[in-house]
């Protein structure tokens, strides 16, 4: 009967770029898999275009669907803390994904990637390839906490290495902006040795600009991030321009859904924190991160 | 004048304008759809949520009704809300050291927010009237300026309200008075004042006259620039008020706060029957327009029949149909 | 006087029992008459009689509710929106129908461009326009934007536009309302030329002496009904007026009271300069009716727009009742008791999409408000009063200004400025487009106001009007005062001599 | 006719309209600023980049000039570009199996894109004219619809062109003809055709007449609805053309493609001197407006003097100042 159904709301931002689309794909896969496995589990997926809409969606999940548990990937940490707290007050189990809330102790389960780690690993790779006096430029994401965490960790790590950061501009995790900002960097700086693009989408635009300007050779390389399947494919094939990638797995939402369902279905305790690493993907290990069916 | 007397009877026939009820009918249809999808739609909790949510866009749209009626447009409202929210948060956080975390801090913060709103509106208004720059360009410019200011203040991240003040401030969004949430009360008050101002005062009449024909307004002893500037100030005040009740909801502001609110507000105004070119404004319609927009979003959260990706399609279709219902010449065959 | 039968189907364009209602409001009742090739047929009637409506039906802009239009002996359904021009039926609208931001050439050829495969032949059009403008005696560049022209010039452009269409039927709805005599004469020359070419011409006017001068036959409408059609030669002006109004008209002009030369000075203008006028000085006494005459563009309007704060002043002083003032806005002028009634009732005077009440109270709105709050009962009362006082005839009290007849719009505008209870009234072209009956009412009204001590300035291009009601007349020429006449000197010869620059007078003396 | 001759002198004065040159002056000032920040600004490479980038917004803005001149507005162009790009990519990928990866596939894909653009414009036009719904609402609705369609097709992610076709198609963006990149050629051709259509044909004149006074246009036997619909079709064609040269740049489309292009296009049009309320359109100004907008972005990438977060502030200020320069009454004292 309806009363016995376990309703689990899953709320995350509307995908507007490839990584988020990958996340959405993993969420939908997990929904189908889990609902087939447990007929009494109903997962309700809702995505929202901005923080206020996500707050509204959380209200609706409680007032209309009467959920028993919530899996939430907050648009932003701060604004969604209170709304998630309200859901918790309704008695639901809370699983937070990726971006932590600004107040500790609300979530029962936490599943996340590691943004500072992504910046740090990227910087460490740069330092293995570059020497004192070499120049890099940075293309950042959309001005947000995620971007700041990645960028600050990168800058802290590279500090004192003698590598010059010529400039950093926001390319908004977007291929077009990546292309245009890189074009302008190329006009402006005659000597660039490497590019940290932070994200695989930006990296695609950067590569196009490098090729157009004929500056893709001479040991130039680009480090993106996240683990887009085309990028990983390129790494497997030995692409010298984009030789590595730093993982930020979009499948974390599926992990979170699994753990949340397990909280109702398994006997052991599942509450706790699950932090996924920011693995450096190289030609050696690329194969195990390659999902050809995912949109990302 | 016998000929006047004789035609009189024919004329006084009450003219029921079906189009007046267009927005109301659209809203009722939406409610029926919502109810049939899930009876919880008409639950008290959901209705309350709906009204509370409509309050933001509704309050801003009331201001936009004045601007549009007087022939202007304001694209900056969403960014203005974000900037006001950001500055208010910075201010309140700073005031904690001086005034503590009590009601006083909140009151001072809210007061400054209102002042900022008025000033931002004044800037838009003066640039449009004294600067003689198209309202579209002025407010497109200030839209960019306000938005980047909040990004700058937040250093690209999020500005958060001090946790202790949040406790003091929270009730402004979450509490109720006689069963009606406080934001809804504010909405009601703004709506009634707006209606009154538009329909029962010289100011409203002047807005209509200016939007209708600026030359005639000028020749009729109306201070066109002053009235136009005031419409932007009112818009700014409405944005500030909406922000004051918005901040306790999420306790923070970032560069993504209020994105696209300007389009939603203008859409609410026009769905409500106000004419975009000016000269005819309907506050009541605007309120209904805001409710319609919120209800569409609410209904789409009710069902997973439709791919989430197609939300935009549904919204677009419903908006177009809602306006078409009231604009088409239903009465024509009866003439 | 021989009244013809209503239906004579010998004409080129005939109306056969045309009726028209707007919504439930009937405006025309089974009107029939015929227009022959090679005649000038005048249509006269009171404001709101339905003349414009009838003309619009006969040129396809409105559909009749019932009845037929017979063109060339065959019943036709005219194509809408000016499409009838292709059949040779051209209408000059009573209200100007020009696109303000576009140039004279663009307007004259709008919808009828000379083009090959959609590509404009601009030299051809310019050449044609130069010719047309010369024909109507308008000496302006074909590339002038309409917004830069005076109303009279706009009207002449409308006439040039109609001339360019090679019409078989030319319908002119009050083309001379905004023209001075000189321009009217040019128009009549063109009309005569067209008549000789066999064009059928319909001429609507409230200026009965013009009707007498130009037309061959006259048709009279009253309250939407056909009253009669006669040969013009069979009628004198009084007959026409009687047929229109349905009663005998007493004197058109009220007796002119002797002005009180000792009365206080209400307004003094000294050395006024603006963009287009130089060194204007004059005085206006309490209870005086001061006429301002002059040719089109001589700057009369600009003098008073400057006085009321509508045009920036470059030099000069203005004094009212002893206080030197300089108004920054119309509101200040209004509060000081000075109001200005514009001659551009459509562009500057009335909110066309609003009803009578909104328009009536707009200028004096603070009087109808208690601390911002409108007193709607007071407004409604004011409307009732104004409708009675100015005999505003609208069959539908909720009618929008744009649906009122031209003359009734003018009356509403007059009522609007009078709501401000002014001490000094400046009226620009007070009786433009107003029927004789109402004209008489307005003249008596002006005289009564003056008798109450209100000072009045009448700017008019209608010479008999200026002569008939003014105590004193100032004549302007090229932005300057050319002369002043008063008492027995107020006559046409004197005024024309000053206006044309034949009389020289030192103004400062 | 002495009395008529007298006004002659005042009117015949040759009027040199300083405002006409406003956008050009603004652009020159920007270039000087750019050059003084970094001499590389005027390098051939950067100028080429600038022109090529301007091509997208410029081509779309030419279409927008017609829509706006005729008194309409089109908010859907950015989303329309994204949707057309998405569908074109899906189509080309599907055609590989049938037609191979040669020029034919690209040509068929591009042809379909143009067709889609025309159809999308036709939909906007008919909804506005026949449906009698305000253009603002119609295109706000279709903006949501187009955007969500591309999200749907791309499953929220990115649609990528088959790698082999990309090789065939790539030159359309990256190659040059007589030293001028192909997108710039397309831009030039669209600009000249647009100018010709606006200033030398009956169509352009009708657009102006309709925007200036719809009533007068109608009474001049102009088929108002037809002309207005055509302006939207032209807008759609321009969007399609811009998309056809945009896709080979990165070979992909996603839901973030073309975001805010509508505002950029409208801003370009208005910076160029076209009046938002209609009735006065200047294609030449629009081209300059597009160049100005691209140059602002370019200059901001050329300096690190200004915090990244304040880019929006700079853009907003420059837009307002650029328009103010041309709108203010400079000529007043000289008259
Ligand atoms: N579109 C309309 N809708 C409603 N009523 C109208 C409309 N057009 C005209 N009327 C009414 O029809 C009547 C006749 O108007 P019409 O303009 O034909 O008068 P007219 O004889 O030309 O008067 P005038 O001499 O003042 O120009 C008026 O009462 C007017 O208000
Ligand atoms: N060439 C022009 N360009 C712009 N505005 C003009 C021009 N000529 C006149 N005007 C404006 O038109 C209005 C009336 O002009 P003016 O005072 O010359 O007319 P007038 O003497 O009243 O003649 P009439 O009323 O017979 O046309 C004024 O506001 C004036 O500024
Ligand atoms: Mg499900
Ligand atoms: Mg008439």
Structure tokens that stand for C405 in this block: 């007849």
Cα–Cα dist D133/D115, whole Å: 24
Ligand 1: nearest atom to the Cα of C407: 26
pLDDT in tens, A232-248: 999 999 888 999 999 88
Structure tokens that stand for A262 in this block: 């397990």
Average pLDDT, chain A: 87
- Taking CB atoms and an 8 Å limit, are C353 and B212 in contact across chains? yes
**What secondary structure does DSSP assign to A277-292, as a single string?**
P-PEE-TTTGGGG--T
The predicted structure's pLDDT at residue C294: 84
Cα–Cα dist A289/C152, whole Å: 82
For C317, the enclosing helix (H) or strand (E) is strand C315-320
Structure tokens that stand for A74 in this block: 């907050």
In C93-244, the DSSP E strands lie at 115-116, 119-120, 169-173, 200-204, 217-222, 225-231
- Taking CB atoms and an 8 Å limit, are D313 and B149 in contact across chains? yes
Taking residues A73-95, report their average pLDDT.
88
Q: How far is CA A77 from the centre of its chain?
A: 14
The predicted structure's pLDDT at residue A57: 87
Q: Residues in chain A whose beta carbon is closer than 8 A to a beta carbon of chain D?
A: 14-18, 20-22, 24-25, 140, 143, 167-170, 174-176, 179-181, 183-188, 201, 204-205, 208, 212-213, 230, 295-296
Contact indicator for C194, C180 with CB cutoff of 8 Å: no
The predicted structure's pLDDT at residue D226: 95
Beta-bridged to residue A96, according to DSSP, are A72, A110
CB atoms within 10 A of CB C2: 9
Give me the residue label for tokens 């227009």. Answer: C35
Each of the 509 residues of chain C gets a pLDDT tens digit; together they read 445 555 555 788 888 888 998 877 888 888 888 888 889 999 988 888 889 999 999 998 998 988 888 888 888 888 888 888 888 898 988 878 888 888 999 999 988 888 888 888 889 999 999 988 888 888 889 999 988 888 888 888 988 888 888 888 999 998 888 887 788 888 888 888 888 888 899 999 888 888 888 899 999 888 888 888 888 888 888 888 888 877 776 777 877 777 677 778 889 999 999 888 888 999 999 989 999 988 777 888 899 999 988 888 888 899 888 888 888 888 889 988 999 999 888 888 999 889 999 999 999 998 898 887 888 899 999 999 999 888 888 877 888 998 888 888 888 998 999 998 899 999 998 887 788 888 888 888 888 888 888 999 999 888 888 888 898 999 988 888 888 888 777 888 888 888 777 766 544 43
Show contacts of A265-270: CB within 8 Å, 24+ apart: A265/A38, A265/A41, A270/A109
How far from each other are the two terminal CA atoms of chain A, in whole angstroms?
38
**What secondary structure does DSSP assign to A70-114, as a single string?**
EEE--SSHHHHHHHHHHHHHTT-EEEEESSPPSSTT--SEEEE--
The predicted structure's pLDDT at residue D17: 56
Choose the residue to mutate in C150, C274, C343, C462 for probing ligand 2, maximizing ligand atoms within 8 Å of C-beta: C150
The predicted structure's pLDDT at residue B15: 45
Contact indicator for B27, B288 with CB cutoff of 8 Å: yes
What is the radius of gyration, based on Cα positions, of chain D? 21
Q: How far is CA A69 from the centre of its chain?
A: 23
pLDDT in tens, D201-242: 999 999 999 999 888 898 888 999 999 999 999 999 999 999
B113 Cβ under 8 Å from any chain D Cβ: no
The pLDDT-based confidence of A203 (bands split at 50, 70, 90) is: very high
| Residue partners of A103: CB distance under 8 A and separation at least 6 | A81, A85, B163
Neighbours of chain B (3+ CB pairs under 8 A): A, C, D
Structure tokens that stand for D332 in this block: 């007043």
What is the radius of gyration, based on Cα positions, of chain C? 23
| Residue ranges around ligand 2 (CB below 6 Å) | C 148, 150-152, 294, 296-302, 305, 343, 459, 461; D 10-11
Q: Which of A140-154, C491-505, D303-317 has the lowest mean pLDDT?
A: C491-505
What is the radius of gyration, based on Cα positions, of chain A? 21
**Considering the entire predicted model, what is its pTM?**
0.86
Cα–Cα dist A23/A97, whole Å: 11
Structure tokens that stand for C108 in this block: 């004259």
- Taking CB atoms and an 8 Å limit, are D307 and B138 in contact across chains? no
C305 Cβ under 8 Å from any chain D Cβ: no
Of D71, D16, D55, the residue nearest D207 (C-alpha): D71
Q: What is the distance in A from the centroid of ligand 2 to the CA of C150?
A: 5
Structure tokens that stand for B188 in this block: 């009601």
Residue identifier of the C-alpha nearest atom 7 of ligand 1: C403
Chains C and A touch (3+ CB pairs under 8 A): no
The predicted structure's pLDDT at residue B304: 65
In chain D, the DSSP E strands lie at 158-160, 176-177, 180-181, 252-254
Phi first, then psi: what are they for A22, rounded to 5°? -60, -45
Q: Which residues of chain B have pLDDT under 70?
A: 1-20, 303-306, 308, 326-335
Of B102, B75, B247, B259, the residue nearest B170 (C-alpha): B247
The predicted structure's pLDDT at residue B310: 79
The predicted structure's pLDDT at residue B162: 85
Neighbours of chain C (3+ CB pairs under 8 A): B, D
The pLDDT-based confidence of D335 (bands split at 50, 70, 90) is: very low
D83 Cβ under 8 Å from any chain B Cβ: no
The predicted structure's pLDDT at residue B17: 57
Contact indicator for C442, C467 with CB cutoff of 8 Å: no
Choose the residue to mutate in C26, C55, C405 for probing ligand 1, maximizing ligand atoms within 8 Å of C-beta: C405
Packing angle between helix D202-212 and helix D44-69, nearest 10 degrees? 60
Query: Which of residues D19 and C500 earns the better pLDDT score?
Result: C500
Structure tokens that stand for C183 in this block: 């321009």
A93-97 and D180-181: which strand pairing? unpaired
Beta-bridged to residue C173, according to DSSP, are C204
Helical spans, DSSP H, in A137-285? 145-158, 175-188, 200-212, 229-236, 252-265
Nearest ligand to the C-alpha atom of residue C26:
1
Residue identifier of the C-alpha nearest atom 3 of ligand 1: C403
The predicted structure's pLDDT at residue B11: 38
Structure tokens that stand for D189 in this block: 């051709």
Cα–Cα dist B180/B187, whole Å: 11
C494 Cβ under 8 Å from any chain D Cβ: no
Cα–Cα dist C84/C116, whole Å: 22
Residue identifier of the C-alpha nearest atom 8 of ligand 1: C403
Choose the residue to mutate in C404, C407, C412, C435 for probing ligand 1, maximizing ligand atoms within 8 Å of C-beta: C404
The pLDDT-based confidence of A213 (bands split at 50, 70, 90) is: confident
D308 pLDDT exceeds 80?
A: no
> Which residue of chain D is at minimal alpha-carbon distance from A166?
D304
The predicted structure's pLDDT at residue D68: 95
Beta-bridged to residue C320, according to DSSP, are C267, C323
Quick check: CB of C410 below 6 Å from ligand 1? Answer: no
C349 Cβ under 8 Å from any chain B Cβ: yes
Structure tokens that stand for C370 in this block: 């208690």
Q: What is the ipTM of this complex?
A: 0.84
Cα–Cα dist C390/C392, whole Å: 5
- Taking CB atoms and an 8 Å limit, are B249 and A82 in contact across chains? yes
The predicted structure's pLDDT at residue D187: 96
D123 pLDDT exceeds 90?
A: yes
Residue D15 distance to chain C (closest CA, Å) = 11
Cα–Cα dist A200/A206, whole Å: 10
C106 Cβ under 8 Å from any chain D Cβ: yes
The predicted structure's pLDDT at residue B70: 96
B325 Cβ under 8 Å from any chain D Cβ: no
Q: What is the largest CA-CA distance in chain B?
A: 79
Of B326, B67, B55, B78, the residue nearest B197 (C-alpha): B67
Which residue of C81, C120, C180 is in closest CB contact with D221?
A: C81
Cα–Cα dist B31/B46, whole Å: 12
Q: Is B253 helix (H, G, I), strand (E, B) or coil?
A: strand
C483 Cβ under 8 Å from any chain D Cβ: no
3-state secondary structure C399-445: CEHHHCCHHHHHHHHHHHHHCCCCCEEEEECCCCCCCHHHHHHHHHH
Nearest ligand to the C-alpha atom of residue B304:
3
The Cα-based distances of D185 to C506, D127, D176 in angstroms read 69, 33, 9
Cα–Cα dist A151/D131, whole Å: 51
| Residue partners of B104: CB distance under 8 A and separation at least 6 | none
What count of CB pairs under 8 Å joins B to D? 140
**What part of B 230-269 touches D (C-beta under 8 Å)?**
263, 266-267
Structure tokens that stand for C70 in this block: 């017979």
| Residue partners of C493: CB distance under 8 A and separation at least 6 | none
Give me the residue label for tokens 């430029």. Answer: A137
Phi first, then psi: what are they for C428, rounded to 5°? -95, 115
Structure tokens that stand for C371 in this block: 């601390």
């Amino acid at each position: 009967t309806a009363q016995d159904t376990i309703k689990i709301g899953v709320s995350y931002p509307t995908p507007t770029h490839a990584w988020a689309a990958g996340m959405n794909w993993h969420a939908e896969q997990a929904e189908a898999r889990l609902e087939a496995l447990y007929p009494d589990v109903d997962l309700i997926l809702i995505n929202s275009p901005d923080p206020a809409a996500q707050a509204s969606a959380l209200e609706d999940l409680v007032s209309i669907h009467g959920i028993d548990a919530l899996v939430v990937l907050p648009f932003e940490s701060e604004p969604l803390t209170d709304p998630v707290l309200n859901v918790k007050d309704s008695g639901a189990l809370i699983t937070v994904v990726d971006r932590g809330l600004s107040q500790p102790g609300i979530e029962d389960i936490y599943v996340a990637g590691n943004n500072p780690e992504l910046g740090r690993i990227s910087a460490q790779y740069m330092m293995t390839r570059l020497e004192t006096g070499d120049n890099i430029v940075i293309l950042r994401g959309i001005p947000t906490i995620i971007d700041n965490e990645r960028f600050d960790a990168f800058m802290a790590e590279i500090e004192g290495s003698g590598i010059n950061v010529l400039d950093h501009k926001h390319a908004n995790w977007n291929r077009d902006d990546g292309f245009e900002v890189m074009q302008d960097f190329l006009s402006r700086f005659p000597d660039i040795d490497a590019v940290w693009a932070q994200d695989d989408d930006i990296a695609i635009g950067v590569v196009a600009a490098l090729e157009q300007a004929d500056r893709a050779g001479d040991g130039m390389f680009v480090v993106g991030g996240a683990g887009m399947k085309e990028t990983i494919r390129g790494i497997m094939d030995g692409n010298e321009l984009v030789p590595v990638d730093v993982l930020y797995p979009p499948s974390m939402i599926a992990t979170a859904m699994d753990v949340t369902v397990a909280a109702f279905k398994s006997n052991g305790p599942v509450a706790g924190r699950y932090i996924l690493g920011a693995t450096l993907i190289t030609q050696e290990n690329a194969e195990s991160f390659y999902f050809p069916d995912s949109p990302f | 004048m016998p000929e006047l007397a004789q035609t009189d009877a024919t004329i006084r026939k009450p003219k029921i304008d079906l189009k007046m009820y267009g927005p109301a009918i659209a809203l009722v249809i939406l409610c029926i759809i919502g109810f049939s999808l899930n009876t919880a739609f008409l639950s008290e909790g959901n209705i309350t949520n709906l009204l509370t949510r409509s309050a933001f866009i509704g309050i801003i749209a009331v201001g936009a009704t004045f601007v549009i009626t007087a022939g202007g447009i304001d694209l900056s409202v969403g960014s203005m809300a974000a900037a006001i929210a950001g500055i208010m948060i910075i201010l309140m956080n700073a005031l904690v050291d001086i005034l503590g975390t009590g009601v006083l801090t909140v009151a001072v913060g809210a007061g400054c927010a209102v002042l900022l709103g008025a000033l931002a509106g004044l800037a838009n208004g003066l640039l449009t009237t004294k600067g003689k720059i198209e309202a579209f360009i002025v407010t497109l410019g200030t839209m960019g300026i306000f938005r980047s200011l909040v990004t700058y203040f937040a250093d690209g991240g999020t500005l958060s309200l001090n946790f202790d003040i949040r406790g003091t401030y929270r009730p402004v969004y979450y509490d109720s008075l006689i069963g009606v949430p406080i934001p809804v009360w504010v909405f009601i008050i703004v709506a009634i004042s707006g209606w009154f101002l538009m329909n029962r005062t010289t100011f409203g009449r002047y807005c209509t006259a200016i939007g209708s024909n600026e030359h005639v307004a000028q020749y009729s002893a109306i201070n066109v620039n002053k009235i136009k500037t005031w419409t932007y100030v009112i818009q700014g005040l409405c944005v500030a008020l909406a922000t004051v009740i918005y901040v306790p909801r999420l306790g923070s502001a970032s560069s993504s706060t209020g994105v696209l609110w300007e389009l939603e507000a203008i859409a609410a105004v026009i769905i409500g029957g106000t004419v975009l070119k000016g000269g005819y404004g309907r506050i009541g319609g605007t309120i209904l327009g805001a409710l319609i927009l919120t209800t569409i979003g609410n209904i789409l959260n009710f069902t997973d029949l439709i791919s989430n990706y197609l939300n935009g399609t549904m919204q677009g279709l419903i908006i177009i149909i809602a306006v078409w219902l009231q604009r088409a010449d239903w009465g024509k065959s009866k003439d | 006087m021989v009244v013809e039968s209503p239906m004579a189907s010998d004409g080129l364009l005939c109306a056969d029992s045309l009726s028209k209602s707007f919504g439930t409001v009937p405006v025309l009742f089974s009107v029939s008459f015929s227009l022959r090739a090679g005649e000038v047929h005048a249509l006269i009637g009171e404001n709101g009689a339905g003349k414009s409506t009838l003309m619009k039906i006969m040129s396809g802009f409105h559909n009749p509710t019932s009845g037929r239009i017979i063109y060339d002996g065959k019943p036709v359904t005219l194509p809408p929106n000016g499409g009838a021009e292709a059949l040779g039926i051209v209408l000059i609208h009573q209200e100007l129908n020009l696109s303000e931001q576009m140039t004279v050439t663009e307007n004259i050829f709008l919808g009828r461009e000379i083009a090959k495969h959609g590509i404009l032949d601009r030299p051809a059009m310019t050449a044609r326009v130069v010719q047309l403008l010369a024909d109507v005696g308008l000496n302006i560049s074909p590339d002038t934007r309409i917004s830069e022209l005076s109303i009279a010039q706009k009207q002449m452009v409308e006439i040039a536009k109609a001339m360019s269409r090679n019409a078989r039927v030319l319908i002119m709805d009050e083309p001379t309302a905004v023209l001075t005599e000189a321009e009217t004469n040019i128009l009549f020359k063109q009309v005569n030329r067209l008549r000789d070419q066999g064009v059928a011409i319909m001429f609507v006017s409230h200026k009965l002496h013009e009707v007498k001068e130009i037309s061959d036959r006259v048709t009279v409408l009253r309250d939407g009904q056909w009253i009669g059609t006669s040969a013009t030669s069979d009628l004198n002006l009084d007959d026409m007026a009687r047929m229109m109004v349905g009663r005998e008209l007493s004197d058109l002009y009220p007796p002119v009271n002797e002005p009180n030369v000792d009365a206080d000075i209400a307004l003094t203008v000294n050395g006024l300069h603006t963009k287009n006028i130089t060194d204007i000085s004059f005085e206006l006494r309490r209870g005086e009716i001061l006429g301002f005459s002059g040719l089109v563009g001589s700057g009369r309007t600009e003098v008073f727009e400057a006085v009321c704060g509508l045009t920036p002043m470059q030099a000069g002083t203005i004094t009212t009742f002893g206080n030197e003032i300089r108004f920054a806005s119309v509101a200040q002028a209004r509060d000081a008791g000075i109001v200005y009634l514009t001659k551009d009732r459509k562009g500057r005077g009335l909110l066309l999409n609003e009803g009578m009440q909104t328009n009536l109270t707009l200028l004096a709105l603070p009087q109808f408000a208690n601390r911002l709050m409108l007193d709607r009962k007071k407004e409604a009362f004011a409307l009732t009063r104004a409708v009675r006082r100015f005999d505003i005839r609208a069959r539908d009290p909720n009618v929008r200004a744009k649906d009122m007849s031209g003359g009734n719009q003018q009356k509403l505008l007059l009522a609007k400025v009078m709501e401000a209870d002014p001490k000094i009234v400046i009226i620009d072209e007070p009786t433009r487009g107003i029927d004789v009956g109402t004209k008489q009412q307005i003249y008596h009204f002006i005289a009564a106001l003056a008798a109450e001590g209100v000072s009045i300035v009448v700017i008019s291009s209608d010479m008999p009007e200026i002569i008939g009601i003014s105590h004193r007349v100032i004549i302007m020429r090229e932005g300057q005062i050319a002369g002043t006449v008063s008492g027995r000197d107020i006559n046409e010869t004197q005024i024309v001599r000053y206006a044309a620059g034949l009389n020289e007078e030192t103004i400062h003396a």
